[in-house]
Amino acid sequence: MTGKRRSTASWHLAIYLKDRGELSVAEPNLDTLLEDCTRCGLCRDACIVERMGAHSITSFLNGDEEYSSWLCSSCWRCQEVCPRGIDIHAVMMQKRRDEAPPARHVANLRNVLHSGYALPVSDDINELRRIHGLDVVHLVPVEWVEVLLRRQED
């Protein structure tokens, strides 16, 4: 492996600290992220989204115009098979900054901000779970979500 692989967790921490003004980090531009990519296609071959017939960020990496940086299962198989160590996650995040998210993503984000869950969940969910023989779930109290959101604004 000859690429410059970095930990995506450490990169996200750096971006978080940068956004809070606690760290000065120069974000790599797309050209820098892609400079070692040979467009070999191994990432696209490994991509679950591509196998299902959609066009993910791996299509972009292989020169296709039709793709969505928002279509990703987060399995990171693409990154694992890349012989050059391209930080495909960082490429995807850079491209997402240029693309508007799909409407469903926006709706899910609103749900997370409201309740802490991506899907609309209310207290009556336990009645449905009981009918189907499932255990009760304990929802995150709205107050906790509000505290988390306030911390993000600090």
**Mean pLDDT along residues 4-33:** 64
Work out the pLDDT band at 47, boundaries 50, 70, 90: very high
| Best-predicted range by mean pLDDT (17-21, 50-54, 72-76, 124-128) | 50-54
> What pLDDT shows up at residue 13?
63
Would you say residue 29 has pLDDT above 70?
Answer: yes
Distance CA 66, CA 113 (A): 31
Query: How does 52-75 read in b/e, with b if 16+ C-beta sit within 10 Å?
Result: eeebbbbbbbbeeeebbbbbbeee
Phi (first) and psi of residue 103, to 5 degrees: -55, -40
What rounded mean pLDDT belongs to the chain? 79
Work out the pLDDT band at 105, boundaries 50, 70, 90: confident
Q: What is the pLDDT of residues 64-104, one digit of tens each?
A: 999 999 888 888 899 999 999 999 988 998 898 888 888 88
Q: What is the pTM of this model?
A: 0.58
The tokens describing 152, both together, are 């993000």
Q: What residue spans define the domains of the chain? A: 8-98, 103-153
Would you say residue 30 has pLDDT above 80?
Answer: yes
Would you say residue 149 has pLDDT above 90?
Answer: no
The tokens describing 19, both together, are 């956004």
Would you say residue 9 has pLDDT above 60?
Answer: no
> What pLDDT shows up at residue 141?
73
> What pLDDT shows up at residue 22?
63
